[in-house]
Amino acid sequence: MPSNSSNLPDGVEDLTSLDASELETLKRSLIDFYQSKNFQLTYPSLVEFADAIGGTQNSSLRESAFTFFDDLSSNELAIRPDISQQIARIDQAEESEKEQRYCYVGEVLKKRKDSFSRSRITIKAGVEIFGGGDNKYEVLSLLSDSVKIGNLNELTLSFGKTEILNEVLEPLDLDFDDSISLNKIISSKSKSDLSAWVKEKKISNEEANKLLTLIDCNGDLSVISKLQNIETSEGHLSEIQEIWDFIEKETCFKPHIDLTDFPGFNYHDGLVFSAHSDRYGFSIANGGNYFSQTSSGKLRSAIGFDQDIIAMIKLKA
């Protein structure tokens, strides 16, 4: 059981007894499974240079990191809030143009408490594939098998595609700060905040209506008809249908579409998804497509997910 000691800061806990044993068993079972699928086990450093966390495009990642001054190097250091981007750094150092497959497990520390475990520290396990083809269905299957290993049920997989929002945003020609602000408003699904924002930025009625429609694009396949009203490309609509069918038929999840809720940090580009417990509604896993940059400056496609394995064992309690 968790130990709630008065000697610990708010948002952290000890795991003892059966919880500790169950956590270690789940960690080992997941890593054994991933290695059986030809993923290379990797243990990134817990600490990074603070200016390397997130970069210019990943402000939410950088803002979530605990930082401190290092007397030894005279640099500001950060404790990782996320492992996926560390794997991207490691893949960059490999300088390979071939497909690379990594798995990992480790602690992360964030400034804010996790909504499910009420903790700022958790243990994440996950996989990342770099330089592959279209691996989305393999990755969705791996996530489904992972939660089965954790003996979890009554789960929903919510998914979306960032390209659909990007199609709506492109004509607006927003700068970086305005894009971040709008993304936060859209993710919150606050129509009043969105209406105030489009009025302030003098967005045309046509584009404003597209944004307001997009906020309502969550739920079942009826979302597709709403997307047709804002002239979403047929290719994206077909892919949404295909992903829905795959999740429904080939995984243990119930599918759910949400085109304005992009879980985790803001570096994903393409398919995004999150697994939720039907009993609590909180996310226990997040993932999706993104791009990393090679040492020569080329973009390298990637896809993966991580899961909160402390939340997984608590869900069974």
Question: Which pLDDT does position 279 carry in this prediction?
Answer: 81
What average pLDDT values come out for the chain (317 residues) when binned by 10 residues? 66 83 95 98 93 63 82 88 90 90 94 66 95 93 97 94 87 84 85 92 90 91 92 92 97 94 67 90 88 82 94 83
Pick one of 3.10.450.30, 3.10.20.600, 3.30.930.10, 3.30.70.1050 as the CATH number of 1-153+280-317.
3.30.930.10
Question: Which pLDDT does position 66 carry in this prediction?
Answer: 84
Question: Which pLDDT does position 274 carry in this prediction?
Answer: 94
Task: Supply φ then ψ for residue 19, to 5 degrees.
Answer: -60, -45
> Among residues 208, 204, 260, which one has the least CA distance to residue 230?
208
What are the structural domain ranges in the chain? 1-153+280-317, 155-278
Judge if 1-153+280-317 and 155-278 fold alike in CATH terms.
yes
Task: Supply φ then ψ for residue 279, to 5 degrees.
Answer: -75, -30
Pick one of 2.40.30.10, 2.60.120.10, 3.20.20.150, 3.30.930.10 as the CATH number of 155-278.
3.30.930.10
Counting Cα atoms < 13 Å in the Cβ hemisphere of 251 gives 29
Counting Cα atoms < 13 Å in the Cβ hemisphere of 233 gives 10
Question: Which pLDDT does position 137 carry in this prediction?
Answer: 97
Distance CA 65, CA 109 (A): 7
Question: Which pLDDT does position 67 carry in this prediction?
Answer: 86
Question: Which pLDDT does position 292 carry in this prediction?
Answer: 83
